[in-house]
A = this chain, B = another copy of it.
Amino acid sequence: ARPRVGYFYTGKTSAQLLTEKIRQIQVKEYLSMPVLVQEDATVYDAICTMFLEDVGTLFVVNKHSKLAGVLSRKDLLRASMGNQDLNSIPVSIIMTRMPNITVCSKEDLLVEVAEKLIDKQIDALPVIKNSTDEDAFEVIGRITKTNITKALVDFSGDAII
């Protein structure tokens, strides 16, 4: 006999389920792996890492592997414009530093992160392990406008079903 397959009535329309999904979706469902550089790496090294890993944002960690800073493509472009030797400048000179970094956790809502990316005019947030100690944030992920764009594509795909 053929197996019984098909749709099952859940008591909710697919549209209702979609709306709930947008509101409830968490960072952990869409995050990417973080790309890290050490605080004493040079700007030249950081640019090479950015190209090799093909990311738009790098996170800088200190010798205890805790979050120390963030480097955007814009930061690196600005640095490379000056007539400086990129091999002699450490990233710690040009990065955005703690506590001026907006972070999020795996359990945060994706829509809240999207709002922060817009409000702060940045491309990515580090996802950190829950901690109350600002000096000891451990970076476990990266969430970017690319991840948010993927989420929208997924939602619209659900909608068409």
**A133 contacts chain B at the CB level, 8 A cutoff:** no
Chain A 1-32 interface mask (CB, 8 Å, partner B; 1/0): 00000000000011110110011000000000
List B contacts of A52 (CB < 8 A).
none
A100 to B146 CA separation, bound complex (whole angstroms): 21
Chain B residue with the shortest CB-CB distance to A77? B77
How many of chain A's residues have a CB under 8 angstroms from any CB in B? 41
Chain A 146-161 interface mask (CB, 8 Å, partner B; 1/0): 1011111101100110
A78 to B80 CA separation, bound complex (whole angstroms): 10
When all copies of this chain in the complex are counted, the total is 2
Please report whether the interface of chain A is mostly helix, strand, loop or mixed according to DSSP. Answer: helix
Chain A 35-54 interface mask (CB, 8 Å, partner B; 1/0): 00000000000010011001
List B contacts of A77 (CB < 8 A).
47, 50-51, 73, 76-77, 80
Which residues from chain A sit less than 8 Å from chain B, CB to CB?
Answer: 13-16, 18-19, 22-23, 47, 50-51, 54, 56, 73-74, 76-78, 80-81, 86, 110-111, 114-115, 117-118, 121, 123, 145-146, 148-153, 155-156, 159-160
Complex A-B: 26 CB contacts under 8 Å = A13-B13, A13-B16, A22-B152, A22-B159, A23-B156, A47-B77, A51-B74, A51-B78, A56-B123, A73-B73, A76-B77, A77-B77, A80-B80, A80-B81, A111-B153, A111-B156, A114-B156, A115-B153, A117-B146, A117-B149, A118-B146, A145-B149, A148-B148, A148-B152, A149-B149, A152-B155
